[in-house]
Amino acid sequence: MDIAVVDDEKAFREYLCGLIKRQRPESRITAYASGEELLAAGRRFDIIFLDIRMDGISGVEAARRLRKSQEDTTLIFITALKEYVFEALDLYAFHYLLKPVDEKKFVEVLKRAAWEAAQRRKKRGLFIKGKNLTLDLDDILYVESRGKKVEIHTAAREGIEIYGSMDELEGRLGEGFYRCHRAYIVNMAHITGYAKDSICLTGGAKAYLAKKKYGEFVKAYMWYLQDGGVSRV
């Protein structure tokens, strides 16, 4: 799961990132010091923790701009002043937290936000530019790099070749998919088995597993199963 923390106080950013890491060690956490940095990154996040009062544009304004391109991102606002909360809630915020953050409350909110984000992601499709095609994420078995192109393998059709990078596709696919090799991304829902150097998928397909990523992969896959993911063994 991709999570962003946006706050202009360095110590608080680091504190919040630490809390998230302890609760969800498998997540990719990115910290930003301002709303401008968040918007300039142009990345899609499952969950964003966003301070309301910051130098530069406010968290509310950053969220308003973000909503134009990312309607389904789970927003959690953080503020030291309760009177700012109502304006933030108009942007369909999932929740708000008051500073200083109560750790027990934070854990509860993060758990519910992660569940909602996971449910929302399952409903998203992958739109293929130039082919007028939207693939259901659940149907994708794995993605393979082929030079300047990538090939998307599904259970229902032959591989679909498109121009693009593995880094870009990894970001678009998000949680539930794992980059097991520089040339392979697998859908963890379709894993039927694995060895030290390969991963077996639905229908007998195989993807290479980089030896240096074996331990990380096993940990990520176990987290995926414990977090409600269902492997189609």
The tens digit of pLDDT for each residue in 75-108 reads 898 888 766 555 555 556 678 888 899 999 999 9
* Distances, alpha carbon 72 to alpha carbons 15, 48, 112, 131, in Å: 26, 11, 15, 24
Give me the mean pLDDT over the 154-169 stretch: 83
- Residue 35 pLDDT more than 90? yes
Main-chain phi, psi angles of 4, to 5 degrees:
-115, 145
The model's pTM is 0.58
Specify the range with the lowest mean pLDDT, choosing from 40-44, 208-212, 229-233. 229-233
Higher pLDDT: 42 or 209? It is: 209
Average pLDDT along the chain: 85
Find all residues with CB under 8 Å of 75, minimum gap 6, and list them.
48, 50, 63, 91, 92, 93, 94
Residue 66's pLDDT is: 85
Higher pLDDT: 148 or 33? It is: 33
- Residue 122 pLDDT more than 80? no
Q: Does domain 2-122 have CATH number 3.30.499.10?
A: no
Residue 230's pLDDT is: 45
- Residue 232 pLDDT more than 50? no
Domain coordinates of the chain in residue numbers? 2-122, 128-226
Residue 171's pLDDT is: 81
The H-assigned helical ranges of 27-84 are 35-41, 59-66
Residue 191's pLDDT is: 94
Return the CATH architecture of domain 128-226.
Beta Barrel (2.40)
Q: pLDDT exceeding 90 applies to what percent of the chain?
A: 41
Helix, strand, coil percentages for the chain (3-state, nearest 5): 40, 30, 30
Residue 59's pLDDT is: 85
Q: If you average pLDDT over each of 33-37, 115-119, 133-137, 169-173, which comes out highest?
A: 33-37
Give me the mean pLDDT over the 211-224 stretch: 91
CA 51 to chain centre: 20
Q: For tokens 């942007």, name the residue.
A: 91
Find all residues with CB under 8 Å of 89, minimum gap 6, and list them.
96
